[in-house]
Amino acid sequence: MTLINGKEVAEIIKGELKHKVDQFTSRGERPPHLAAVLIGKNPASLAYVNNKVKSCSQCGFRSTLIQKDPDISESDLLKLVAELNEDQDIDGFIVQLPLPHHINEQKIILAIDPNKDVDGFHPINFGKMAQGLPCYLPATPYGITLLLEHYNIETSGKHVVVVGRSNIVGTPISILLSRKGRGGDATVTLVHSRTKNINEFIRMGDIVVAAIGIPEFIKEAMIKPGAVVIDVGINRVEDSGQATGYRLTGDVDFNNVAAKCSFITPVPGGVGPMTVVSLMMNTFQAYSRKHNL
Amino acid sequence: MTLINGKEVAEIIKGELKHKVDQFTSRGERPPHLAAVLIGKNPASLAYVNNKVKSCSQCGFRSTLIQKDPDISESDLLKLVAELNEDQDIDGFIVQLPLPHHINEQKIILAIDPNKDVDGFHPINFGKMAQGLPCYLPATPYGITLLLEHYNIETSGKHVVVVGRSNIVGTPISILLSRKGRGGDATVTLVHSRTKNINEFIRMGDIVVAAIGIPEFIKEAMIKPGAVVIDVGINRVEDSGQATGYRLTGDVDFNNVAAKCSFITPVPGGVGPMTVVSLMMNTFQAYSRKHNL
């Protein structure tokens, strides 16, 4: 069994990006520049955004954090998005979700210039992904494909069972892995809450992507011996043994499943660190495209 | 075994649309208006477009056929698209594919106003479909869902095996049927040329959608007893017994498969007639939205 070390892969890719950026800046080019918009002071959102800012620094990118009060009006946020769309000094930007309830998230996402939508949330990027056209891939699915590629895990002709059909993970990864070409060409089954005999489907998977958001949902008996297990879940479960009163766990019962797998991602330290790396990759792509590099 | 009569369902839906349109025009509203752009004189394309024009008339829509020489430049076609985008009298339009080789199809599709893209080919409509947002659904997948709905064929919790991953049929129908909500909620496996043990996958399907473009690919032994079989294939095979020298056949070996199914679509007369109906439905949707009906 090989433990997939997402933290390590993330460091390697960030190092490669830094190396590329250094080459451009040494020739007098400005570095890539990511802006992040954070509304309010949700601690989880703040932690995510800070992590993105820190990753920018590790990659040699410039970053700008724009913090706004939670009572910002939708129209003021739309104005800010329009300014960022126009700002030639910014290659890409994200609006950290979730947004306060009085703001229509979909309206904000649709207002982002698709060329700067480095989160890959705009429907035009999503549609291009599904149609196999060049685009910004959504962060978590992109991170998963980078992990599979790094560990030389073949997807062509493999049966991938994706558990969960969210718009940010399950649906896009199911599309990505069944696309034509390298890193795709898999036979994909997307299972979810309405699936009958879900255990039997999961047991067929050569590769199982767990993204259903239920702690330790995937048990040992549901995994085919030698399967590759990618755990996207990040669930907080109560744990009085921890100082925080909780521990993080994935959608996979790791302790009992791991020995049965050929490869498995831990939680934390598996898919998680790759998500921000995908954002860095997309930002670099935006920068390269803009500079015709 | 029930033979799914696409021709009949198409007539019923066109009749319903005509009834709705008559109500609006009797109140003094103009009818829905579809424009179709045809480049060159490809006989198949001409037949398709004529069929669309005829369907408009059956639905009480106005239609405009714009024919251009095959040597039209890409920039002139882009100009025409821009004019149609601006024309307030036209609710939706299509550019009949394929286009001559000197024209970049993707560029033309991207130039169409997504609000008038009644073919549902623009990536933004494709992405909205995948994200479960309101959009124009691509014609053939939409037609399949209308057929399933008409025959009260439950999709929720069923295992659907989609054979073939094209951008116009296989990929979008696999996404549509696994979406949340009525007409979706299926467990979908998308199989294709790189799938190993493809026969075994197809044999698992409660519903099989054949869209691989290989005449009579699906044999009797590949079908689970009682399955629903939707045949999207339209293949010409040589047949000296026919005056034309060929006959049309689907991707399913109909004569041997039919008796084993609960429902099956014939070719022709199954999915085919529904494709143009989907276009009419989308055009009516464009009209309704524009008129806030």
Q: Best of B112, B178, B196, B197 to disrupt the A interface by mutation (most A CBs within 10 Å)? A: B178
Q: Best of A190, A207, A224 to disrupt the B interface by mutation (most B CBs within 10 Å)? A: A190
Contacts of B181 in chain A (CB under 8 A): none
Residue of chain A whose alpha carbon sits nearest to that of B206: A196
pLDDT for res A57:
98
- Residue A52 falls in the annotated catalytic set: yes
Verify whether the Cβ–Cβ distance A189 to B187 is below 8 Å.
yes
CA distance A96 to chain B (A): 19
CA distance B230 to chain A (A): 19
pLDDT for res B292:
66
- Residue A89 falls in the annotated catalytic set: no
Per-residue pLDDT tens for A163-183? 999 999 999 999 999 999 999
Cα A184 from Cα B55, distance rounded (Å): 39
Q: Best of A105, A121, A122, A124 to disrupt the B interface by mutation (most B CBs within 10 Å)? A: A124
**Residue ranges with strand state E in chain B:** 2-3, 33-39, 62-68, 92-95, 159-163, 187-191, 207-210, 228-231, 235-238, 246-249, 263-264
pLDDT at A278 over 70: yes
Per-residue pLDDT tens for B60-72? 999 999 999 999 9
pLDDT for res A291:
74
Per-residue pLDDT tens for A116-141? 999 999 999 999 999 999 999 999 99
Strands B62-68 and A246-249: unpaired
Peptide bond into A141 cis (omega under 30): no
**HSE of A145, CA atoms in CB hemisphere, 13 A:** 24
- Please name which of A6, A43, A3, A67 lies closest in space to residue A228, comparing C-alpha atoms: A3
Verify whether the Cβ–Cβ distance A127 to B128 is below 8 Å.
yes
Catalytic residue among A14, A91, A116, A119: A119
Per-residue pLDDT tens for A183-200? 999 999 999 999 999 999
pLDDT for res B290:
77
Which residues between 161 and 200 in chain A have a beta carbon less than 8 angstroms from any beta carbon of chain B? 165, 167, 171-172, 174-175, 178-180, 185-192, 194-196
Cα B113 from Cα B105, distance rounded (Å): 15
pLDDT at B1 over 90: yes
- Residue B96 falls in the annotated catalytic set: yes
H or E stretch covering A208: strand A207-210
C-alpha B178: how far from its chain's center?
A: 18
pLDDT at A238 over 80: yes
Mean pLDDT confidence for B205-210: 98
Q: What is the pTM of this model?
A: 0.96
- Please name which of B264, B256, B201, B190 lies closest in space to residue B229, comparing C-alpha atoms: B264
pLDDT at A157 over 70: yes
pLDDT at A290 over 90: no
Verify whether the Cβ–Cβ distance A133 to B106 is below 8 Å.
yes
pLDDT for res A292:
66
Q: Identify the structural domains of chain A with CATH numbers, from first to last.
A: 29-113 (3.40.50.10860), 139-272 (3.40.50.720)
pLDDT at B85 over 90: yes
Catalytic residue among B96, B231, B253, B285: B96
Tell me the ipTM for this assembly: 0.95
Structure tokens belonging to residue A38: 């954070």
Which residues between 110 and 169 in chain A have a beta carbon less than 8 angstroms from any beta carbon of chain B? 122-133, 135, 156-157, 159, 165, 167
Angle at B258 between CA B176 and CA B233, to 5 degrees: 50
- Please name which of A96, A109, A78, A82 lies closest in space to residue A41, comparing C-alpha atoms: A96
- Closest to B157 (Cβ–Cβ): which among A165, A167, A194? A194
Structure tokens belonging to residue B2: 């029930």
pLDDT for res B61:
98
